[in-house]
Amino acid sequence: MTDIPAYGQRFLVARFWRSASGFWRRPGAATAWTPTLLLLSSVLFQLMIQYRLSYWGRDFFDAFGRRDGGVLKAQALLFLPLAGASLLVAVLGVWSLMTTQRRWRLWLTQYLIDRWLENDLFRSLQFAVGEDQNPEYRIAEDARIAVDSPLSMAVGLLKAVLSAGIFIGILWNVGGDLAVGVFGYVLTVPKYLVIAVAIYSALLTLAMIFIGRRLVSVIAGKNAAEAQFRSVGSHLRERDKFATNSVGKIEQHNSLSHALQDVIDRWRELCVQLMQTTLVSQGNVLLAPVIAWVLCAPKYLVGTMSLGEVAQVTAAFVIVQAALNWLVENYSGLADCLSSINRVASLLLALDQLSSQGQN
């Protein structure tokens, strides 16, 4: 099987996409584009509703602060259609996402099977002990992950980019400038909430990149060890099913035990990596809203920001920092996705090489 380090990450992703994108380029691609476009529409509609809810929250908390029962009642009634629309769009998003994933997986898996069986190439795929094996598993499982994860992440990334662009406007306009007294002088920080969320998000992303820098290779090693464990068992069954001497049985047992121990060691290494990245991601969940409240407190205490504006800006701050820290929240999932893409791409490269050799 093609060795991943020999090609590099970008090459493998490009090779995977060259084949996988055929789902949207094939004859009859309407079955692919219809749920895809509905998925994009659901993302846009959900963001529009979320943006409207941010102003609903501001009006609600302003009325709450004034103890205005009439406005509170009106806002409570307004919430019902907004919530209903959000639920319907969310259901549409789930249907369109899973339909696209299901159809894409069907097409890609069938494509891989056809390539694997073409000209009996499956007979030519020879593996030596210790290599990353099992083309069947790559077709059945890695192809599933390589289809499901990129779609989910693409939707998440689109939401993050659009959310950052939309809600940063609230931080810009509602947050405004902050006047700070320093040694008898008044220092004005323009659009201070925008600056604060950018700095906070940058620090958080850098921390995740530094702490999780080995996560991709660790997950790839774990997947390779799992594949090797399955392959050792399969090869022992095929080679030694007629062996009855005790020495052969001991060797079989030792081979399986060593492969299993490697799997356990890889999982232990992954556990350590995920514990480290969890410190960053969970710390962010706790810190982000508190930082927003603290930043809004000076303007609220002097009366230049209402309670509703504090609630609106705090929600916008959390949304924007979550969008800017998309990598932080999806780092481990991205690593797992890239690992499966690498394995499918290396299978395709091996089939490419065998096809080329067969034509010469």
Question: What's the token pair of residue 27?
Answer: 């004859």
For the chain, the straight-line distance linking the first and the last C-alpha, in angstroms and rounded, comes to 20
Distance (Å, whole) CA 90 – CA 66: 34
Instruction: Give the position of tokens 């593996």.
Output: 127
pLDDT reported for residue 233: 72
**DSSP string across 17-81:** HHHHGGGGTSTTTHHHHHHHHHHHHHHHHHHHHHHHHHHHHHHHHHHHHHT-HHHHHHHHHHHHH
Instruction: Determine the residue type at 278.
Output: T
DSSP-derived letter for residue 214 is: T
Rg (CA), the chain: 27
pLDDT reported for residue 359: 57
Distance (Å, whole) CA 62 – CA 73: 13
For the chain, which ranges sit under pLDDT 70? 1-7, 120, 122-133, 234-253, 357-360
pLDDT reported for residue 118: 80
**CATH number of the domain that 160 lies in?**
1.20.1560.10
pTM of the model: 0.78
Domain that holds residue 97: 4-359
Q: Angle at the Cα of 202 (from 197 to 205), degrees rounded to 5?
A: 120
pLDDT reported for residue 237: 63
Question: What's the token pair of residue 13?
Answer: 């992703």
- Provide the 3-class DSSP secondary structure of residue 8: coil
Q: What is the pLDDT of residues 9-68, one digit of tens each?
A: 889 999 999 999 999 999 989 999 999 999 999 999 999 999 999 999 999 999 988 889
Q: What is the pLDDT of residues 283-320, one digit of tens each?
A: 888 998 999 999 999 899 988 899 999 999 999 999 99
pLDDT reported for residue 178: 85
Domain count within the chain: 1
Name, in order, each residue with C-beta under 8 angstroms of 298's C-beta and a sequence gap of 6 or more. Answer: 178
Strand partners, 255: none
